């Protein structure tokens, strides 16, 4: 079964750096870089979607499907980034509730 097209951009936004050694308690750069990359990817997808929407409204766009696909990709990526953020906040709150 062939993969669904359009998912590659989303999955590439959340790739983690390969481990470089034993995990350190203060080494949070891999997660921070992943989240930053996802947000940058989201911004570029939203920018592309906005450009195609303007082109569709002004009549400069021949293929409305590309505007709809770009809009859907931006929407799904936004939902994914929000879900990851919510899970991170939940995990942080759970850690804060732990007793020593």
Residue ranges per domain, the chain? 28-97
DSSP H or E segment with residue 83: helix 64-97
Q: Which of 84, 48, 41 lies closest to 67 in space, CA to CA?
A: 48
Cα separation of 91 and 94, whole Å?
A: 5
Neighbours of 98 (CB within 10 A): 6
Of the given ranges (30-34, 58-62, 76-80, 94-98), which has the lowest mean pLDDT? 30-34
- Whether 34 has a pLDDT exceeding 90, the answer reads no
Q: What is the mean pLDDT of residues 39-49?
A: 94
Q: SS3 of 3, please? A: coil
Q: Report the alpha-carbon distance of residue 83 to residue 89 in Å, rounded.
A: 10
Q: What is the pLDDT of residue 15?
A: 54
Angle, vertex CA 9, rays to CA 6 and CA 14, nearest 5: 135
With contact defined as beta carbons under 8 Å apart, do 12 and 42 qualify? no
Q: How confident is the model at residue 74 (pLDDT cuts 50, 70, 90)?
A: very high
Q: Which residues contact 66 (CB under 8 A, 6 or more apart)?
A: 52
Which pLDDT belongs to residue 29?
86
Q: Say if residue 37's pLDDT is above 70.
A: yes
């Amino acid at each position: 079964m062939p993969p669904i097209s359009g998912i590659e951009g989303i999955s590439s936004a959340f790739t983690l750096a390969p481990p470089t050694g034993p995990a350190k308690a203060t080494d949070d750069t891999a997660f921070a870089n992943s989240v930053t990359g996802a947000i940058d990817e989201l911004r570029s997808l939203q920018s592309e979607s906005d450009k195609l929407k303007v082109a569709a409204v002004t009549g400069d766009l021949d293929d409305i499907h590309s505007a709809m696909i770009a809009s859907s990709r931006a929407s799904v990526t936004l939902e994914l980034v929000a879900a990851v953020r919510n899970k991170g906040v939940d995990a942080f709150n759970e850690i804060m509730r732990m007793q020593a």
